[in-house]
Chains A and B, each alone.
Chain A
Amino acid sequence: MIRFVLKRLLSILPTLLIVATVAFVMMRFVPGGPFDQERAVPAEVERALRAKYHLDDPLAKQYGDWLWALVSRGDLGPAFKYPNRTVNEIIALSLPISMQLGVLAMIFALLVGVPLGIVGAVRQNTWKDTAAMATAMVGVSIPRFVLAPLMILIFSLTLFWFPVARWETWRHMVLPVVCAGLPMAAYLARLTRGGMLEVIRSDFVRTARAKGLSERRVILRHALRGGMLPVVSYLGPGFSHLLVGSLVVEKIFNIPGMGRYFVEAAMNRDYNLVLGVMLVYGVLLMVFNALVDVAYAFIDPRVELG
């Protein structure tokens, strides 16, 4: 078991190295550098800046230095556009916020989506099913950047229940978490319903019923375990959708998370910051995928650990 987990986690490293290398090379071959967008930077200042950050070294050396700093000291380098701040500092400040948003949104999605899907499956082809699935369809179809302004219009600017922006108290968190989590909740509802419907007619569920178990117990203890498989395998990609979705949510609600830095840094050619944020995203995503694999093996006895 532990060997399987370790092996799975180690297999992340090569992929990560490829992502880092591709991103590094792409960044340096792109026209425009971090210092050529400022107005009226005298040539000698730019030269000094480039020298300071070793941007004139050969590409291979830059790459080697960068990789060595990362591997030996976990150092992602200075952020060009934020003088006196390193990429590590920026990530240390913004990552916890993004993680809070992501984790809360995922919990919200599971708490809303899975029960909705169960209702749909258990009451198949009744009005409850139709209503649940119509809601889910609307949920997967409304983009977050339409949903968020709508919710702000209704709950902040008309009803004054929640603040419009920022990330401080729980009241600030409600709207962003719901916006980030709702599309995923809708999606999970569809997946859960599909998974449950497949299981609900299978032999072991019939056996459970025949044993005289209560319907509630049959559904929640026996059917749900099998019905959750598609849901669990979706959590990996779902997490990545959530990360991407949080780019939008962070922008609209003015939340100082990592997503905001990423888009800005990419546009500003802030090489180190882009690479740093990308690597953090990559690690998060792949570690999460690995955990999902492990969880999957736990739930489904047919999966062999190898």
Chain B
Amino acid sequence: MAEVSQAGADAGAGAGQGAGAGQGKVRLDAIERGSSLWRDAWRRLRKNRASVVSGVILVVLVLACIVVPEVSSWRYDLADLKLGATPPSAAHWMGTDYFGRDLMARVFFGGRVSFTVGVIATLVSFTIGVSWGGIAGYFGGKVDAVMMRIVDALYTFPFLVLVILLMVFFANDRSVLHAAFQLVLSVAVENPKDPAYFPIFQIAVVFAALGAISWLTMARIVRGQVIALRGQPFVEAARSIGVGHRAIIFGHLIPNALGPIIVYTTLTIPEVMMTEAFLSFLGLGTQEPLSSWGLLASSGAETMDLYPWLILFPGGMLAVTLLCFNFLGDGLRDALDPRIRKD
């Protein structure tokens, strides 16, 4: 959770750099091509070595998670009880777990789950946060006061505690949500009652729960941006030609606040992935026989004195991914909007 909400932590550092040199030329570019903000940002981002390397590593990791489980000679859930846990070898590059399952296949399959959770839960939080903050900021006054009061109140809640409750209560086969899930599923497949779909349902609950708790900071950031923008002439102009509220918010204001939104979205992904891993570690998120990095680390931690590779590989992958997202987010912040504030 922590590392994301400090969007402003070292904003001051990058603030001075981007301006200065080449400003006049860029201005001209802007007039000629009309996309100087993004070109400028791209140029600044490319100069940030840590961000570029992080971005490349992330792309490689995502590709590996897509490709490796397909081309691997081992399936992620193929057990070989006679083999048991073996250290890394030529046949199993990351070794095998207690049930003789190939760890590399499990790690990269788990990566699919972890990345998917990260991206989808972030989309959920993006949707809620941007709409909430946009509406509150645009209308201002009482609407704003009430909406932001709710956000403030939610901030003081012990959130993960509630998520843990949500997971325990809704991610089981007798909950209302499960019935709803089966109903939706019955449109797509023939036998929605098949227990094979249950793990997917549980992951869906993880998406919803994580998305539902991580939109607060996004709402604050978007609100601040919208308030800063709503008095600008282009909004006036839009209103004067009769553009509706909704079109002004989502068609004019939000696109102009995209910089900070993108930065914060990049920083939400690792936060959500970390939380998913945390839930799985406690036994509440992804369940066997599926795998995710948190789940693998959890079972690895239990036997780390005997089979240390079982914790080192999945834990290392998770740590590298989070590190890369954070570096990339930092670089994007310096590139896109050096002055973005935490709240």
Stretch among A56-64, A150-158, A212-220 lining the B interface:
A150-158
A199 to chain B, nearest CB (A): 9
B5 contacts the other chain (CB 8 A): yes
- Chain B interface residue number, banded: 35 or more
Which residues of B, 285-343, contact A by the 8 Å Cβ criterion? 294, 297-298, 300-301, 304-305, 308, 311-312, 315-316, 318-319, 322-323, 326-327, 330, 342
Per the bound structure, the CA–CA distance linking A289 and B175 in Å amounts to: 34
The contact string, 1 if C-beta is below 8 Å from chain A, for chain B 169-203, is 10010110000000000000000000000000000
Interface contact A194-B10, CB-CB below 8 Å: yes
| Residue among B10, B12, B274, B300 having the largest count of chain A Cβ atoms under 10 Å | B10
Interface contact A146-B305, CB-CB below 8 Å: no
The contact string, 1 if C-beta is below 8 Å from chain A, for chain B 133-171, is 000000000000000000001011111110011001100
* With known contacts A30-B169, A262-B164, A153–B308 Cβ distance under 8 A: yes
A178 contacts the other chain (CB 8 A): no
Stretch among A45-53, A74-82, A93-101, A234-242 lining the B interface:
A234-242
The secondary-structure label for the interface of chain B is: helix
Which of B153, B281, B342 has a CB less than 8 Å from the CB of A15? B153
A117 to chain B, nearest CB (A): 9
A174 to chain B, nearest CB (A): 18
The contact string, 1 if C-beta is below 8 Å from chain B, for chain A 94-138, is 000000000000000000000000000000110000000100011
A256 contacts the other chain (CB 8 A): no
* With known contacts A31-B172, A149-B301, A244-B1, A197–B326 Cβ distance under 8 A: no
Interface contact A241-B326, CB-CB below 8 Å: no
Per the bound structure, the CA–CA distance linking A241 and B294 in Å amounts to: 18
Which of A141, A238, A285 has a CB less than 8 Å from the CB of B158? A285
Interface contact B9-A190, CB-CB below 8 Å: yes
B259 contacts the other chain (CB 8 A): no
B13 contacts the other chain (CB 8 A): yes
* With known contacts A143-B274, A148-B301, A285-B156, A267–B294 Cβ distance under 8 A: no
Per the bound structure, the CA–CA distance linking A26 and B172 in Å amounts to: 14
| Residue among B168, B294, B297 having the largest count of chain A Cβ atoms under 10 Å | B168
Note all chain B residues with C-beta closer than 8 A to A137.
323, 326-327, 330
Which of B11, B158, B304 has a CB less than 8 Å from the CB of A243? B158
Which residues of A, 181-223, contact B by the 8 Å Cβ criterion? 183-184, 187, 190-191, 193-194, 197-198
B253 contacts the other chain (CB 8 A): no
* With known contacts A137-B326, A143-B322, A238-B2, A263–B161 Cβ distance under 8 A: no
B3 contacts the other chain (CB 8 A): yes
Per the bound structure, the CA–CA distance linking A289 and B154 in Å amounts to: 13
A286 contacts the other chain (CB 8 A): yes
A/B pair count, beta carbons within 8 Å: 158
The secondary-structure label for the interface of chain A is: helix
Per the bound structure, the CA–CA distance linking A152 and B323 in Å amounts to: 22
A142 to chain B, nearest CB (A): 5
- Chain A interface residue number, banded: 35 or more
Interface contact A142-B9, CB-CB below 8 Å: no
A297 contacts the other chain (CB 8 A): no
Interface contact B2-A140, CB-CB below 8 Å: yes
Interface contact B323-A149, CB-CB below 8 Å: no
Note all chain A residues with C-beta closer than 8 A to B175.
30-31
Note all chain A residues with C-beta closer than 8 A to B323.
137-138, 141-142
* With known contacts A145-B298, A230-B8, A243-B158, A183–B304 Cβ distance under 8 A: no
Note all chain A residues with C-beta closer than 8 A to B172.
31-32
Note all chain B residues with C-beta closer than 8 A to A9.
none
A274 contacts the other chain (CB 8 A): yes
Interface contact B297-A146, CB-CB below 8 Å: yes
Note all chain A residues with C-beta closer than 8 A to B161.
244, 262, 278, 281
A294 contacts the other chain (CB 8 A): no
What would be 16 A-B contacts, judged by CB atoms less than 8 Å apart? A19-B157, A32-B174, A142-B322, A142-B323, A145-B277, A149-B311, A157-B305, A198-B12, A230-B342, A237-B155, A240-B159, A240-B160, A244-B1, A244-B158, A252-B301, A267-B283
| Closest 4 pairs (CB-CB, A-B) | A31-B174, A146-B315, A140-B3, A194-B9
Instruction: List 16 extra interface pairs beyond A194-B8, A230-B9, CB under 8 A.
Output: A27-B169, A30-B168, A31-B172, A32-B174, A145-B297, A146-B319, A153-B305, A157-B305, A187-B3, A230-B342, A234-B5, A240-B160, A244-B278, A247-B282, A263-B282, A266-B168
